[in-house]
Amino acid sequence: MTVLLLNRGRISAKELADRFEVSTKTIYRDMDTLSQAGVPILAHQGTTGGFEIMEQYTISRQYLSLGEISSIIAAVKGIGTAMDDATYASLHEKVKTLLHQSDKHQDGNVGERLIFDLNPWEQGPEARQKVNLLKRAIDETQKVQFSYVNMNGSESERMVEPYALLLKANVWYLQAYCLLREQFRVFRLSRVQQLQMLSDPFERREVPSLEGYTWGTEWTKNADTEVTLIFHPKARYRVGDSFHSDQVTVLEDGSLRVEGKFTVDEWFYGMILSHGDSVKVEHPAYMAEQVMQRAKNIISRYEN
């Protein structure tokens, strides 16, 4: 309850009662207990009232277990792998000071049981340079300009106000207010070219939350389609990487049937063609014809 109050600020007795599945009477009793224990609880009356803790109060290290501190150390170290920023190296050292000497003697590899390496395989220096430049632009509230290639292959010049960097499945994205579209957009950094920070500051706007960030169906004009694919047994490892286990059925001959709803767009056709002769489209027929036509187009590029 103390941790919740520290993180959330003022909370009503009803909210706390709902959260801990007790009565409000129990909450009032618990608040008295916390106050008697030395936790500076403030009670506010009225419709906007509730309980909160004095601003300067913090919990001590004793509230964190060795396992929790180890997880924090691993996470901070992981962030440092993705960014060339001395801040995270310093933070890593500071978090390690939460460990008692006895903890270090107990397990010299504390923080190494769980490893977060957020640096994608084969990431070149260019990608890291983009991340570092954008982080500086966000910190200094400076506009940036770049050329952007969308999923259809068309290129456009963008000037944006950068707000947040998002690393999702080893791919970096930028949340920014696009001055061309006059709305917040999310840009994939691998499609950002000729990036430069401008000496043009901006006033921060109210930003849509990226918490729980998921794929938006409105980002594509194509509706989901029921698709059935048959993969050769040799493609099993890639099928496991690309599709959810609920979508995969192993057949008697060892081949794999993948069934599900997918957005059939250029990315999806590219994924199918990347499997070469290890996959066959069983349904829908028009998609099989599209794959055949694209394969013929590839062959025609080499006829001469």
Q: Where are the domains of the chain?
A: 2-53, 66-106, 125-214, 224-300
Is the pLDDT higher at 109 or at 114?
A: 114
Mean pLDDT across 105-109: 50
The architecture that CATH gives domain 224-300 is 2-Layer Sandwich (3.30)
Chain position carrying tokens 């954008």: 134
Give me Rg for the CA atoms of the chain. 26
Q: Please answer whether residues 12 and 46 qualify as being in contact, where contact means their C-beta atoms are separated by less than 8 angstroms.
A: no
Burial (Cβ within 10 Å: 0-12, 13-18, ≥19) of residue 279: buried
- The CA–CA distances, whole Å, from 292 to 66, 224, 287 equal 58, 21, 9
Give per-residue pLDDT as tens, 217-246. 444 556 789 999 999 999 988 898 888 888
CATH of domain 2-53: 1.10.10.10
What predicted TM-score, i.e. pTM, was given to this entire model?
0.55
Q: Is the pLDDT of residue 121 over 60?
A: no
Give per-residue pLDDT as tens, 138-154. 999 999 999 998 766 78
Q: Please answer whether residues 233 and 256 qualify as being in contact, where contact means their C-beta atoms are separated by less than 8 angstroms.
A: yes
Tell me which of 1.10.287.110, 3.40.50.300, 3.10.110.10, 2.30.30.520 is the CATH number of domain 125-214: 2.30.30.520
Per-residue burial over 219-244, b = 16 or more CB atoms within 10 Å of its CB, e = otherwise: eeeeeeeebebbbbeebbeebeeebe
Instruction: Give the span between the Cα atoms of 138 and 221, in whole angstroms.
Output: 31
Phi, psi of 91 (to 5 degrees): -65, -40
Q: Is the pLDDT of residue 173 over 70?
A: yes
pLDDT band at 115 (very low <50, low <70, confident <90, very high): low
